[in-house]
Structure 1
Amino acid sequence: MYEPIRTKSVHTTAGTTPDFPHRSREEELDIQLAGHLAALLTVTDELRSLESSADLDRAAERLAAQVARLRGVPPVRAARSAHIDASLAALHRRAHTLAGRALVVAASRADTAAAILSAQRMDAHTVALGEPRKPIAAG
């Protein structure tokens, strides 16, 4: 009733190596977290070029250290530029969003150091925006 399959299967069978590399979930999360932290570092450097702050300097160094830990190499950082068109508020909102994304990924991979740093940066950018902090309700 059915005709036998005559073409090679597109699925790999156990014991054969696929034609493309596979990464584990942890490796994928490391890559994703490093990307979010590197983007946060870039925005932090932009903020540092607009307003000098010891807090931003410390945050940039801690972010760079986390990215280097995850990637195995130090991040490439752009030189400070005085020609940034974004407003401070827009940069703080962007940094807050990126820190939130990093926090979600750090929490999913159980990276305590990155999660704490991300949460601290979210708090700092919330304060910089002048928004009141909303307490997290224990549930």
Structure 2
Amino acid sequence: MYEPIRTKSVHSTMARTPDDFPHRTREEELDIQLAGHLAALLAVTDELRAVAPTADLDTAAERLAEQVARLRGGRPPARAAAPTGGREPSAAALHRRAHALAGRALVVAASRADTSAAILAAERMDAHTAALQPRALASH
């Protein structure tokens, strides 16, 4: 009723030995993940700087760029210019998104025991929480 399989599995023939697959350590994977979260936070920070520029956001952007470059072996992150066209997101929406990204970065930084990135992420969470307070939003 069923025809037997006559060929070897693709999975067993693709890799001759376990060393044929590129493997990264857990720490390398966490570095990649942390750099991604911080780069995303940097992008949102740059958007916020375009919508509601402050010295705090400028400093945060510089510090985020430094951390991303450190995690990527010295390669600076790609930075986008202010968004053109389309509807500009509100400052509140950007602060909420930045808060969530900073939280993700904090979790990964803590898992990796990266103190400098964890401190930066926690500071950014606090800053975005403060920015979301009703009186802070009235000034934006």
Q: What does 1:59-70 align with in structure 2 at a 5 Å threshold?
A: 59-70=60-71
Structure 2 Cα separation of the partners of residues 89 and 37 of structure 1: 19
| Alignment match of 1:85 (pick from 85, 88, 109) | 88
Q: What does 1:24-63 align with in structure 2 at a 5 Å threshold?
A: 24-63=25-64
How far has the Cα of 1:23 moved from its partner?
0.3
| Alignment match of 2:121 (pick from 100, 107, 118) | 118
The answer to whether residue 131 in structure 2 is matched with residue 128 in structure 1 is yes
TM-score, length basis structure 1:
0.81
How far has the Cα of 1:19 moved from its partner?
2.8
The answer to whether residue 79 in structure 2 is matched with residue 102 in structure 1 is no
Higher helix share: 2
How far has the Cα of 1:122 moved from its partner?
0.1
* 1:50–1:82 CA contact under 8 A, matched in 2: no
How far has the Cα of 1:110 moved from its partner?
0.2
Root mean square deviation of aligned Cα: 2.3
Q: Deviations over 1:10-43 (max 9, x none)?
A: 57xxxx4433200000000000000000000000
Structure 1 Cα separation of the partners of residues 63 and 106 of structure 2: 15
Amino acid at match of 2:27: E
* 1:49–1:82 CA contact under 8 A, matched in 2: no
Aligned residues with identical type, % of pairs: 73
Structure 1 Cα separation of the partners of residues 132 and 43 of structure 2: 18
Structure 1 Cα separation of the partners of residues 19 and 84 of structure 2: 49
- For residue 135 of structure 1, what is the aligned residue in structure 2? none
Structure 2 Cα separation of the partners of residues 55 and 82 of structure 1: 23
Q: Deviations over 1:42-80 (max 9, x none)?
A: 000000001110000000000000000001200010112
Give runs of ≥4 in structure 1 deviating > 4 Å: none
Structure 2 Cα separation of the partners of residues 53 and 112 of structure 1: 26
Structure 1 Cα separation of the partners of residues 124 and 84 of structure 2: 23
Which range moves more in the overlay, 75-84 or 19-28? 75-84
Q: What does 1:17-28 align with in structure 2 at a 5 Å threshold?
A: 17-28=18-29
Q: Deviations over 1:87-125 (max 9, x none)?
A: 111000000000000000000000000000000000000
How far has the Cα of 1:86 moved from its partner?
1.0
